[in-house]
């Protein structure tokens, strides 16, 4: 989801810019002013309560705002994202927005503030008043609305400045220029968002080589836990020595050790576009761990890829590999190969099933040449990038 709030005094051009932005980014538009005017026109109970306050240029109560906005958001929870205009208008409403976003398991990406001098706002609104038919577009009420803005709404700025998602733009220049700058802000924000992929597939499905290729192609950090553990052992690090002892005693590496290594990788989150995980999560427990690890960096899983290859092909591939120099210690006998396939079936398949309930799981045909399979996965990843936008 892409969620944006347009911020600025009345007459800053929020409505005008919104018209373009909702089309460009396919967003659901939420203007609390419009929603309130509709309540008034429909003569609802909320409308009746809000009518006089709006006519005088004051702010309606947070209770009313929550009621109108909550319904709109929940009714449209499948939207690509939301564009808020005229909300949040008070410091309290900033918290309310956070709560509403949590309810949808998402967050606000940026608050874009259009800066316009007071007299410019007044003259723009007076001009609009000639045609808008709004009874609050007259000079006395306009000045009240501006006063409310500078007193009650401006503090919202600090809330989002602290969160690091506040952007200020000169709103007094021409519409196209403002528009271009807003788009630049949005694309830089989008680039900051991490694109995280998990690639699943039975041993021998080609997930490792594909993941490595995709990491390189899309500038994603490759997180292959098996490889990472192996590296620790080879480099004889502290962790590596412990892992070696566990291997020697035929014991599994505990989640704690794997998590430490992944945490180290995730520290790179500021310099990469995202992560591609292979070999993790392997169990349901690890799938919850991964959610937590990503959440720590304000991120989440973006896409799940499942590479499908028929079992007989898998056995043939693994058997063929065992006769080459690429032979892995766990590929040396048919019994070992079958055991790995069974292990995947028992532990990892339930993880994929769990993901299917919350994420888009792309099932990819893993048969054919490396290039053919890579092209299929790439097409899915590119689709995923688009939904992130």
Which chain residues interact with ligand AMP by CB under 6 A?
Answer: 10, 32-33, 36, 53-54, 57-60, 65, 86-87, 89, 93, 136, 145
For the bound state, the minimum distance from the C-beta of residue 61 to ligand AMP, rounded and expressed in Å, comes to 7
> Which of 148/232 has CB closer to ligand AMP?
148
CA–CA dist 146, 153 (Å, integer): 10
Tabulate helix, strand, coil % of the chain (nearest 5).
Answer: 60, 15, 25
Buried b (16+ CB within 10 A) or exposed e, 216-242: eebebbbbbbbebbeebbeeeeebbee
Nearest residue (CB) to ligand AMP, 67 versus 172:
67
CB-based contact 69:30 (threshold 8 Å): yes
Rounded Cα distance, 376 and 358, in Å: 22
The nearest distance, CB 51 to ligand AMP, in angstroms, is 10
Question: Token digits for 176?
Answer: 């196209």
Q: Which is nearer to ligand AMP, 8 or 366 (CB)?
A: 8
Q: Which is nearer to ligand AMP, 53 or 361 (CB)?
A: 53
Least distance CB 107 / ligand AMP (angstroms): 19
Is the CB of 93 or the CB of 362 nearer to ligand AMP?
A: 93
- Tell me how far CA of residue 358 lies from CA of 157, 310, 353, in angstroms: 34, 26, 10
CB-side neighbour CA atoms (13 Å) of 124: 20
Which long-range contacts does 51-55 make (Cβ < 8 Å, 24+ apart)? Answer: 54/136, 55/135, 55/136, 55/141
CB of 73 to ligand AMP, least distance (A): 13
Question: In the complex, what is the shortest distance from the CB of residue 144 to ligand AMP, in angstroms, rounded to a whole number?
Answer: 8
Q: Map tokens 């006063």 to a residue.
A: 147
Please identify, using beta-carbon distances, which residue of 90 and 299 lies nearer to ligand AMP: 90
Q: Is the dihedral of CA 354, 356, 362, 364 positive or negative?
A: positive
Q: How far is the CB of 132 from ligand AMP (least distance, A)?
A: 10
Does residue 278 contact residue 224 with C-beta atoms inside 8 Å? yes
Shortest Å, Cβ 104 to ligand AMP: 18
Element (H, E) at 176: helix 175-192
Q: Give me the least distance between CB of 148 and ligand AMP, in Å please.
A: 7
**Nearest residue (CB) to ligand AMP, 29 versus 87:** 87
Return d(Cα 105, Cα 314) in angstroms, integer. 38
Q: Pick between residue 53 and residue 315 the one whose CB is nearest to ligand AMP.
A: 53
User: 307 phi and psi, to 5 degrees?
Assistant: -90, 120
132/342 with CB nearer ligand AMP:
132
Contact 14, 38 (CB under 8 A): no
Cβ at position 140, least distance to ligand AMP in Å = 13
> Could you tell me the CA-to-CA distances from 19 to 12, 29, 304, 345 in Å, in that order?
14, 9, 34, 50
The residue at minimum Cβ distance from ligand AMP is 33
């Amino acid at each position: 989801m892409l969620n944006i709030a347009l911020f600025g005094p009345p007459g800053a051009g929020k409505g005008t810019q919104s018209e373009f932005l909702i089309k460009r980014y396919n967003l659901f538009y939420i203007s609390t002013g419009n929603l309130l005017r509709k309540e008034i026109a429909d003569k609802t109970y909320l409308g009746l309560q809000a009518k006089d306050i709006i006519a005088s240029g004051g702010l309606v109560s947070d209770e009313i705002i929550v009621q109108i906005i909550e319904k709109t958001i929940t009714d449209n929870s499948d939207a690509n994202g939301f564009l808020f205009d005229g909300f949040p208008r008070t410091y309290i409403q900033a918290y309310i927005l956070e709560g509403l976003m949590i309810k949808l398991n998402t967050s606000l990406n940026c608050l874009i503030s259009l800066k316009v001098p007071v007299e410019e706002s007044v003259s723009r609104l007076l001009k609009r008043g000639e045609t808008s038919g709004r009874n609050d577009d007259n000079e006395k009420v306009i000045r009240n609305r501006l006063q409310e803005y500078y007193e009650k709404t401006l503090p919202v700025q600090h809330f989002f400045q602290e969160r690091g998602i506040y952007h200020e733009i000169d709103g007094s220049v021409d519409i196209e220029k403002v528009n271009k700058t807003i788009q630049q802000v949005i694309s830089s924000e989008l680039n900051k968002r991490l694109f995280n992929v998990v690639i699943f597939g039975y041993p021998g499905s080609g997930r490792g080589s594909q993941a490595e290729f995709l990491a390189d192609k899309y500038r994603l950090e490759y997180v292959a836990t098996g490889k990472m553990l192996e590296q620790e052992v080879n480099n004889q690090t502290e962790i590596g020595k412990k892992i070696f002892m566990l291997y020697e005693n035929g014991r599994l590496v505990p989640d704690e050790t794997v998590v430490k290594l992944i945490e180290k990788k995730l520290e790179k989150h500021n310099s990469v576009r995202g992560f591609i995980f292979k070999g993790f999560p392997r169990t349901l427990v690890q799938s919850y761990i991964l959610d937590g690890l990503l959440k720590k960096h304000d991120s989440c899983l973006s896409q799940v890829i499942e590479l499908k290859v028929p079992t007989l092909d898998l056995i043939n591939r693994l058997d063929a590999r065992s006769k080459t120099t690429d032979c892995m210690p766990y590929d040396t006998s048919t019994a070992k190969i079958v055991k790995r396939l069974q292990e995947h079936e028992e532990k990892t398949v339930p993880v994929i099933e769990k993901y299917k309930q919350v994420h888009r799981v792309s099932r990819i045909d893993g048969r054919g040449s490396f290039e053919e399979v890579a092209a299929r996965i790439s097409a899915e990843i590119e689709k995923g990038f688009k939904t992130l936008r």
